[in-house]
Amino acid sequence: MAAIYPFRALRPPVDKVRQVAAVPYDVVNTEEARALAEGNPLSFLHVSRPEIDLPEGTHIYSDEVYEKARENFERFKAEGTLVREEEPHLYVYRLVMGDHTQVGVAAAFSVDEYDNDLIRKHERTRPDKENDRTRHILTLRAQTGPVFLTYRADRRIDALVEAETKREPLYDFEAEDGVRHTVWRAGAAEQLARCFAEVPLLYIADGHHRAASASRARAELKGENPNHTGQEDYNRFLAVVFPDEQMQILPYHRVLKDLNGRDEGEFLEAVRARFDITEGAKREGPGKAGHWHMYLGGKWYGLSLKGESARTLSDDPTAALDVSLLQNNLLDPVLGVTDPRTDKRIDFVGGIRGTRELERLVDSGAAQVAFALYATSIEDLLRVSDAGGVMPPKSTWFEPKLRDAIVIHTI
């Protein structure tokens, strides 16, 4: 079952939501966050990336950073930048980006279901990032950014959600990146909860560190509470869940700073030993799975593995991913990238930056070769998660992104 719970959200007033709502903390670095928040004292980046209000060079995991987060969060509440709902609610959250629309349900979700793998994962988490968000949650006693969940679509839930969108919205605004965010208080909360109770599994699409940190925070707070009942708010975490059919995954490309000691001709020969190569490939990237485009020396090449179809080379759903096939057949054996998580010679270009950014990096000399991939499918993600697998790093870029602080779950 998938348990969802209404909660008494802490949220911005309608006239302030566009100023408060911020990009997720982990899609920007300190300098980018500082630039986005410049001139906007209400931006939630002052809470999610509070080092922007401290002297340059302050370590992002220092005590001062968490104290500044707490100070700014308390100020937002005291000044009315964030207000408490009088009653618990579920919310319907719609994102519109260009021609793409997706509509989900914002709720509190069960930490127990996360711990017991009824909410499935596909990504390893980094201890430093887990430590950071756990401390952030415990300092604020709040989960300020939602986990991004998905599930195999259910027509009954679709119908209930569609009906909610006919009501008057609580929020309806366009962010500075052109994405439109519309939120409704759900009137059919009990019906939604009953339908989700029949959904067997949920899947983390994005936000593994947020979910892991919510679990760690719960463990700590449970240990401190001799009267723990299991009904406390810290037993739940904030998330928005979307049907799989509506999810949009953009490709995550790879760029390499060198050719592992080869010149361009030698490198092409090494690649040709493993791949069929065609010249004049489209700059937009491959049009289907099992194909890759490579940018080298100002030219685009098409790549496909020799022999069997790339998608049928393995029964392992992780090994069959395009990102895995490229890693195992080219990046590792030809370019010497044995661990893309730690190798400083590889970088990743995802989302809407697209293939023009690959050309820019190679043409400028910042990289020597770039690889454009076809986007991982949502079905690939579900298969890997069901198999208990782990996706390679930088396999998926979900777009559009949820915004922090539209609704906040306090614990």
Going from N- to C-terminal start, the domains of the chain cover 4-248+399-410, 252-374
d(CA 214, CA 199): 22
Residue 160's alpha-carbon distances to 35, 87, 351, in angstroms, are 40, 21, 31
Residue with tokens 């449970």: 222
Length of the chain: 411
**Per-residue model confidence as pLDDT tens digits over 300-337:** 999 999 875 455 556 789 999 999 999 999 999 999 99
Residue 336: per-residue pLDDT: 97
Residues of the chain with pLDDT under 50: 309
Residue 124: per-residue pLDDT: 87
The CATH number of 252-374 is 3.30.1760
pTM: 0.91
Residue with tokens 């004049």: 280
Query: Under a CB-based contact definition with an 8 Å cutoff, are residues 326 and 371 in contact?
Result: yes
Residue type, 225: N
Residue 255: per-residue pLDDT: 97
**Per-residue model confidence as pLDDT tens digits over 289-298:** 999 999 999 9
For residue 45, the 8-state DSSP code is H
